[in-house]
Amino acid sequence: MAKSVIVVDDTYFYRESMKDILKEAGYNVIAEGVDGAEGVELVREHEPDLVVLDVVMPKLSGLEAAKKIMELGLKTKIVICSSLSHEPMVDEAITAGASAYLTKPLEEEIIVRELKKVMGETE
């Protein structure tokens, strides 16, 4: 069965492009959120296989959202996707519980490869 994914990004542009990439790769995008707080709520409600979080968002940043999602104790994998890419940020994300850190601009190939790795689907 297709893995369920929730996309959380305050920018419609990124939500759309990320959704297209995910659908193309055979994932099932079940919901999308526009800020960190909404992201946490959506994950709590739908318990997806995967959540993709942007970092710079209103209300709750992606890193803070990742910490809260970890506290829920679900099986949901967390992937951070941001145009910020300096190392302390990546370290913080991994410490917060993220399984991968992807950078924008979105590169379809890289994203799909990394997600497959995270989901344990590598051929």
Partner 1 sequence: MDTSKYKKIYLEEAHTHLSGIESALLSLGTAPDEVDHLGHDSTIDNLFRHYHTLKGMSASMGYDAPKELAHVHESLLSKLREGEISVTDSLVETLLDGFDVLKELISIVEEESDRTVDCTELIKRVEAAGEPAPEESSERAAPESATAAATGTSKEPLQPEPQPRSNGESPARQLRLSKTMKVESSVFDELLTTVGDLYMELSSFRNTSSTSGTPGTIAFKDSVFSFGKTLKRLHTSILTARMLPVASLTEALPRVVHDLARSLGKEVELRVETGNISLDRSILENLGGPLLHIIRNSVDHGIELPEERTGAGKRPRARITLRAYPKREQVVVEIADDGRGMDVERIKAKAKSAGYSLEQLSAMTRSELLMLVCIPGFSTSAEVTETSGRGVGMDVVKNSIEAIGGTLAIDSTEGAGTTITMELPRTTAIIKALFVSLSDELFLIPISKVMRVVEASAVEVGSGTYTIDDIEVPLVSLAPALGIENDTKKEQYAIVIVEADRTIDEADSGTQGPALAGIVVDDFGLEIDAYIKPLSPPMTHLPGVSGITVTGDGRPVFLVDVAQVTSSERR
Binding site for partner 1 (CB under 8 A): 10-14, 16-17, 56-58, 83-84, 104-106, 108
Q: What does 4-66 look like in DSSP terms, one character per residue?
A: EEEEE-S-HHHHHHHHHHHHHTT-EEEEEESSHHHHHHHHHHH--SEEEE-SS-SSS-HHHHH
Query: Which CB, 71 or 85, lies closer to partner 1?
Result: 85
Q: How far is the CB of 82 from partner 1 (least distance, A)?
A: 8
**H/E element, 79:** strand 77-82
Query: Which CB, 48 or 65, lies closer to partner 1?
Result: 65
Q: Which of 43, 32, 37 is nearest to 61 (CA)?
A: 37
Q: How far is the CB of 42 from partner 1 (least distance, A)?
A: 20
Query: Which CB, 47 or 108, lies closer to partner 1?
Result: 108
Q: How far is the CB of 74 from partner 1 (least distance, A)?
A: 28
Q: How far is the CB of 49 from partner 1 (least distance, A)?
A: 24
DSSP 104: S
Query: Which CB, 32 or 49, lies closer to partner 1?
Result: 32
Sheet holding 4-8, edge to edge: 28-33, 4-8, 50-53, 77-82, 100-103
